[in-house]
Amino acid sequence: MTRPITAGVDGSPQSLAAVDWAAREAAHRGLPLHLVHAWLTEPLYVPPAPDEEAARALLERTAAGIAAAHPDVSLTTELIPQAASPGLIDKAAEAELTVLGSRGHGPVVGFLLGSVGLPVIAHTERPVVLVRSDPQEREGNEAEDEAGDEAGDEVVVAVKDAGPAALPLLDFAFTTAAARGSGVRAVRAWGTPSLFGADVPDSLEENAGAAKDLESAEDDVLSGVLAPWRQRFPGVPVTEHLRFGNAAEVLLSAAAFRAGLVVVGRRLRRPLLGTRIGPVAHAALHHARAPVAVVPYRDEEPPGPEGHEPG
């Protein structure tokens, strides 16, 4: 059965941006789009009595706008009689990926995102994409669009773990890039930077040969991880982005200019308690300007890019 792309609707500008992104991604992938709205308010607050009729009207208005803008996308809607977090977690389990709005970026985004977005990311075993709406960013993107279609088109993926954990991330990144006709930038950080900066430590500076050997070894690791995906997706341009430094900082720097999507991983833990998603994923959600896809992975080895066990 074909899984849809599911997008959460709540009427906010961030939600509308997420729904539009989801519709475009559904068109790229040839997948149906499923819009959902949870109409029971989160129990953390003391809200007015929920209004099912108003919730249904909101969902229908949003669907009508998307149907007009994306007439070729197969569209369905669903009103969920649940609070947003548990309702979206349930629906995410049935989706190819789930798309949610995120209110901006910066030091307070954890509070803005946390009430719904973080629980959904932390408690689903399917990919979740966070999309934000920022007027200044929209103006910048319009300028980029005028400059050329290639601006902001890369799928930037963090290759922190070169083992089996990288496979779901690379599968998502290459599949997305192939559907869009864009490239993949695979980002990997090496070394242990100083607590006081990202410069190469004096111990390595004094032994340039050792530093070069370490960097060459890391370059070989990254090339080896990407080799089967290059073979499977020969039409997808690949850029290897290897830098010394902190993994989160290297990723954000790589994604600062041409990223259309940033892909990070989250280790699936049992039992699923709390909302821990890892420092690199958390940094990307806080600070990346592009939409961020959080892709869960298991500790055991998943199938490789050709559908068989690696090795």
Per-residue CA distances from 46 to 41, 50, 196, 248 (Å): 9, 11, 45, 37
What is the dihedral angle through the alpha carbons of 224, 227, 229, 234, rounded to the nearest 10 degrees?
Answer: 160
CATH topology identical between 1-133 and 149-311: yes
- CATH 3.40.50.620 is held by the domain 149-311: yes
pLDDT in 10s for each residue of the chain, 311 residues: 789 999 999 888 889 999 999 999 999 999 999 999 987 665 555 555 567 888 899 999 999 999 999 999 999 999 988 888 889 999 999 999 999 998 644 333 333 345 677 888 988 999 999 998 764 444 344 444 443 344 478 999 999 888 888 999 999 999 999 999 999 999 999 876 544 455 555 555 555 555 677 888 999 999 999 999 999 999 999 999 999 889 999 999 999 989 999 999 998 865 555 556 788 988 898 889 899 999 999 866 555 565 544 33
Provide the β-strand partners of residue 34: 6, 76
Any idea where the domains of the chain sit in the sequence?
1-133, 149-311
Which of 120, 130, 116, 160 lies closest to 249 in space, CA to CA? 160
Write the CATH number of the domain with boundaries 1-133: 3.40.50.12370
